[in-house]
């Protein structure tokens, strides 16, 4: 009995460690702002995808300690004229302070006035002003604000430029359960093709624009793994591929 219990514990432990979660695209209000967090439990990292206009700054507070973005010590990620950087709040209406930037930022992708920024860091950086991500499912609050230009400044010109959202982490694709779908061509003009993993027969595919609005949903299978994209306008889209076991997310550019 002890041996069986130990085996069950070891299996549960490694299942938890390898577990991946995702929030999917989260709409942040304003002109086309979204953010998404993807946690990879097998390599202990989180990837943030931030999408918005090229001419406005955007700040996102992760799991803030109060309902306002001015709480001292809150972890804030801001895209501005200096690129994507890590900050922490100092309290009240004071400017945030630059933090040690633990995010590894990929080259920006700019299409039709919209910028997509992808950045990755470890779940726990060890800094008290950095939010500690986990690979567990659950919900954490976000606060966001954006400016009238790329120059970082106080967001006091209106009430529509700030607000709150929920980051709901759900199970994504564990490495040991499901291999990645291949989706091509990317960029696409008129059609997307889906290469299914060998152990998957069908999948529900949901497509979201940069506002986080679902524009399409369909069921694909191995016998006809294609999607027509002629009706999509040029820009960036998030494609979620949902199977019985997992969710995978792809970023697609429509030319």
pTM to 2 decimal places:
0.66
Query: Based on the domain organization, do 128 and 207 belong to the same domain?
Result: no
Query: Based on the domain organization, do 124 and 233 belong to the same domain?
Result: no
- Is 2 among the domain residues? no
Query: Based on the domain organization, do 94 and 201 belong to the same domain?
Result: no
**CATH number for the domain including 221?**
2.60.40.3080
pLDDT bin (cut points 50, 70, 90) of residue 42 is confident
Query: Based on the domain organization, do 153 and 240 belong to the same domain?
Result: no
- Is 3 among the domain residues? no
Query: Based on the domain organization, do 56 and 162 belong to the same domain?
Result: yes
The domain boundary residue, chosen from 117, 146, 171 = 171
- Is 4 among the domain residues? no
16 in helix, strand or coil?
Answer: helix
pLDDT digits (tens, 9 = 90+) for 62-97: 998 866 656 788 999 999 999 999 999 887 677 889
- Is 176 among the domain residues? no
pLDDT value of position 4: 39
Residue 114: which domain range?
A: 13-171
Where are the strands (E) in 81-172, listed by range? 83-88, 97-98, 104-105, 109-111, 114-122, 138-146, 162-171
- Is 5 among the domain residues? no
Number of domains in the chain: 2
What is the number of residues in the chain?
255
pLDDT value of position 90: 83
Burial of 90 (0-12, 13-18, 19+ CB in 10 A): middle
pLDDT bin (cut points 50, 70, 90) of residue 9 is very low
- Is 177 among the domain residues? no
CA angle 126, 45, 27 (to 5 degrees): 105
The domain boundary residue, chosen from 171, 205, 239 = 171
Query: Based on the domain organization, do 67 and 133 belong to the same domain?
Result: yes
**Could you tell me if 181 and 196 are in contact, meaning their C-beta atoms sit under 8 angstroms apart?**
yes
The domain boundary residue, chosen from 148, 171, 194 = 171
CA angle 241, 242, 244 (to 5 degrees): 145
pLDDT digits (tens, 9 = 90+) for 180-189: 788 999 999 9
């Amino acid at each position: 009995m002890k041996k069986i219990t130990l085996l069950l514990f070891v299996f549960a432990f490694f299942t938890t460690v390898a577990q991946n979660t995702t929030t999917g695209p989260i709409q942040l209000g304003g002109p086309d702002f979204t953010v998404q967090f993807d946690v990879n439990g097998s390599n202990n990292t989180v990837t943030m995808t931030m999408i918005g206009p090229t001419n406005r700054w955007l700040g996102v507070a992760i799991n803030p300690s109060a309902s306002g973005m001015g709480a001292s010590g809150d972890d804030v990620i801001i895209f501005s004229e200096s690129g994507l950087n890590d900050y922490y709040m100092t309290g009240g209406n004071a400017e945030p302070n630059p933090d040690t930037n633990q995010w590894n930022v990929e080259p920006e992708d700019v299409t039709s006035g919209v910028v997509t920024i992808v950045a990755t860091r470890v779940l726990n950086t060890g800094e008290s002003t950095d939010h500690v991500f986990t690979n567990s499912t659950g919900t954490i609050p976000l606060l966001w604000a954006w400016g009238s230009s790329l120059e970082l400044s106080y967001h006091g010109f209106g009430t529509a430029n700030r607000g709150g959202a929920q980051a709901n982490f759900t199970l994504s694709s564990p490495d040991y359960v499901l291999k990645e779908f291949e989706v091509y061509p990317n960029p696409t003009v008129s059609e997307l093709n889906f290469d299914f993993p060998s152990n998957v027969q069908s999948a529900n595919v949901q497509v979201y624009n940069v506002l986080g609005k679902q524009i399409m949903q369909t069921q694909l299978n191995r016998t006809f793994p294609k999607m027509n994209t002629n009706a999509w306008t040029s820009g960036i889209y998030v494609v979620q591929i949902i199977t019985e076991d997992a969710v995978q997310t792809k970023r697609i550019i429509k030319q």
